[in-house]
A and B are shown apart, each in its own frame.
Chain A
Amino acid sequence: MGGDAYTFKFLGLMFNWTNLISGLVIFVLVFCLLYGLSRKLQMKPKGAQNLMEWMIDFTNGIVRGQMPANEAPHYNFMAFVLFVFILIANEFGLIFQFGWGGHELLRSPTADPIITMTLALVIMTLTHFAGVARHGFVGYLKTYCTPYTAMLPINLFEEFSNFLTLGLRLFGNIYAGELLLKLLAQMAFSHGIPTMIVSLPLEVVWQGFSFFIGGVQAYVFVTLTTVYISSKVSTEE
């Protein structure tokens, strides 16, 4: 089932084998999946290419729905990669949970707050970058004072709380799902056959629900990313 996190110290900083190994496995998995789906491209798509085009169309629709039309194509690719990575990362821990020697080696990397907060930090930095690219540095700082200068603390606090909830929402959903799976498994093995019969359907139902939640959270993360970028990039007319 797994154990606790497997950390090691390197040059005075704590690193986490679990995140490194799980992340690496998911990178390789996503790359193989997307590479395999995009071979033998034809004008009239069939099969694998159809699936790939449907996924890209889905994330293009998310971006197109939130951003002004001239800025949207810049962020299509980022939204697609973000969506596929977070989706596969969320669902990975429902299928593979691997521990060895009391340490946890394979699970969803998004079940760790460090990973999700890092993703949120990258996205928020991207929004700042997009805002500065659009308005110039001084112009971007001035947008924090619109419409009144008194709104400055509110705007700053909104920045901070957007970042915090973006990261913690993904972490909370995936971590609570995996933890409840572990608790149900503990309950199943606690008293022999009767508890196993009771908790097996519960575990199946909860796995299905967690699968659904993983997809919803990936969708919400990508949509909020495009909403935050578009709020910095679009000017009120």
Chain B
Amino acid sequence: MGAIAAGIAAAGAAIGAGIGNGVVIGSTIEGTARQPELGGSLRGTMFLGVGLVEAMPIISIVIAFLVMNK
């Protein structure tokens, strides 16, 4: 049962992180294409956004590791 729970948690984390990061980085690419002179500033904000968005999926992965062997 622990393995199934870990699998479901990891799947949720992967989908959430993938879609969330995709939206953030896609917006950054679009913004850089519109105004290339803001490229450096947008890149810094992108890393901040990725760090924030990935908080919940990472916690989900930690829970998956915790229940993996039960």
| A interface residue numbers (CB < 8 A to B) | 165, 168-169, 171-173, 175-176, 179, 216-217, 219-220, 223-224
Contact = CB atoms under 8 A, between A and B. Distances in A.
B52 interface: yes
B51 A216 contact: yes
Contacts of B50: 216
Nearest to A177: B58
Contacts of A168: 55, 59
A169 B58 contact: yes
Interface of B: 47-48, 50-52, 54-55, 58-59, 61-62, 65
Majority SS at the chain A contact face? helix
B51 A172 contact: no
A216 B55 CA distance: 12
A175 B62 contact: yes
B13 to A, nearest CB: 10
B42 to A, nearest CB: 13
A220 B47 CA distance: 8
B64 to A, nearest CB: 9
A220 B65 contact: no
A223 B48 contact: yes
A217 B54 CA distance: 10
Contacts of B61: 172, 176
B65 A176 contact: yes
Given A173-B54, A179-B65, A220 B59 contact: no
Contacts of A179: 62, 65
A31 B61 CA distance: 34
A175 B58 CA distance: 9
The 10 closest A-B pairs by CB, nearest first: A220-B51, A172-B58, A169-B55, A172-B59, A172-B62, A176-B61, A216-B51, A173-B58, A216-B47, A165-B55
Given A176-B61, A223-B48, 11 more contacts: A169-B58, A172-B58, A172-B61, A173-B54, A175-B62, A176-B65, A179-B65, A216-B50, A216-B51, A217-B51, A220-B48
Given A216-B50, A219-B47, A223-B48, A176 B55 contact: no
Contacts of B54: 169, 173
